Structure formats: structure tokens, C-alpha cells
Amino acid sequence: MMATPHIAAEKGDFAPAVLMPGDPKRAERMAELLMPDAKVVSDVRGIKAFTGTVDGKPLSVMASGMGQPSLAIYVSELFTQFDVERVIRVGTCGGLSNGVKIGDVIVANGAHYEGIINTHLIPQTHFSAVASHNLVQAALEAATDDMNVVVAPVISRDRFYDVPDEVNAAAARVGTAGAEMEAGALYGLAALHGKEALAVLTVSDHITVKTVDMTAEERETNFQSALKLAVAAALS
């Protein structure tokens, strides 16, 4: 058994590509939808991991939990212990830019980040957390005319509440499309370990424009467009 403190699996149980939503329920839903042959390969702390095939190609799905520290634990172990080569985050975000609306899909080509999650990577330098270009390209090639897809940076935060309005306005002013809580760490870890990463995000609410937010049920079910792009990137 090649178990780590957080993943009870054997080497070879994970596919080279892993889709990673935040919510364990969403991970199970994705696995059931994409892979009729999916098998549970790990179940620790309520975070199940599934591996199966899509169009004959191996794929795994595993939740990250909420926040960059939680994601960093799972992704670090996947990259270093289980031969995973690419992780695609499939999740939701809050819209920041006036150029995005609820239901849009953001392919995050970069991630500004709050906190210190990536500050150790290049001493005395602000690290640029960016996606893998080939995964961005693969996701865009899978987009169809009925999707509203935006390619832009997001901001990855360690806090959900009490963000000052002026901070959100400043982020939007420099072209930041959305705010979420995981992509910055994911991109930093991929760079550190020589792997590939991408975040494909559905805008579930809007932070700077008054509108009606998605319900919790809608967040779980309304991910088809983002999922299609994520799978294309994962299997490219």
C-alpha cells in the first residue's frame, strides 16, 4: 500500500490526470457522470477518489476540500507519491469583472493570490502563478458557440468573508475576472514539481454587481460546460 496520511491508495491507482472540484459530493457526481467504470481508490476523511476511463483514456476525480491549504495537501501527495502529471480544478468562483456574468465559464490563465502560499518558491520575488498553456489551449478548443467562455486571471484568497470593496474593485480594475480559493496554490505546486495545472470555473455569484446568486443545488448541477472543458484539458 502506497498510503500517505491523507490518501489511502496504491501506486497506479490514480490516472495521470485528475479532475479536482472542491466539494466531495461534486466529485462523486462527476465520477458517476463521466465514468461508468469508476472505482473508489481512496476514502480518507470523507474525501473519496475515483478512477475510471473516458473514451478509453484513464481519468481520476478527487475533491480538494475548501481553501488553498487543503488543496495543497492533496495535490502535493498526488504529484509526489502517485505519479499524477496534471490536475484540473473544476469549481465555482465569484465574478469580479463587469465582463463576466453568472453562468459564464472562466478558464483561469493565472491566479493572483493572497497570503503566503507561494512566497517560498522564489525568495525575495513575487511568484507569478500561471496555468499550463497547453491545457488552456485544449480547454478553449473544446468550447462551443453556446458557451460564454472568458480567459482571464482570477484571485485566490484565504478568506471568504470581509473582503473590502476597494480590494475587489482594484482586482477588477486590472482585469481579474473572478475570486476563488484554490487556483493559486495549484499553479504554484505544478510549477514546483514540474507538472501541469489548470482551473476551469463557473461563475456562481457576482461580487461587484448586484444579481441573484446560484443556489447550492445549482452550484452542484450547473457545471456541465466547465466540466466539458476540463475533461478536454485533462485528456489532451
Single-letter amino acid code for the residue at 63: A
205 annotated active-site: yes
Q: What is the SS3 assignment for the chain?
A: CCCCCCCCCCCCCCCCEEEECCCHHHHHHHHHHHCCCCEEEEEECCEEEEEEEECCEEEEEECCCCCHHHHHHHHHHHHHHCCCCEEEEEEEEEECCCCCCCCCEEEEEEEEECCCCCCCCCCCCCCCCECCHHHHHHHHHCCCCCCCEEEEEEEECCCCCCCCHHHHHHHHHCCCCEEECCHHHHHHHHHHHCCEEEEEEEEEEECCCCCCCCCHHHHHHCCHHHHHHHHHHHCC
Catalytic residue (one of 13, 162, 205, 213): 205
* Angle 93-40-134 from CA coordinates, rounded to 5°: 45
Residues marked as catalytic: 205
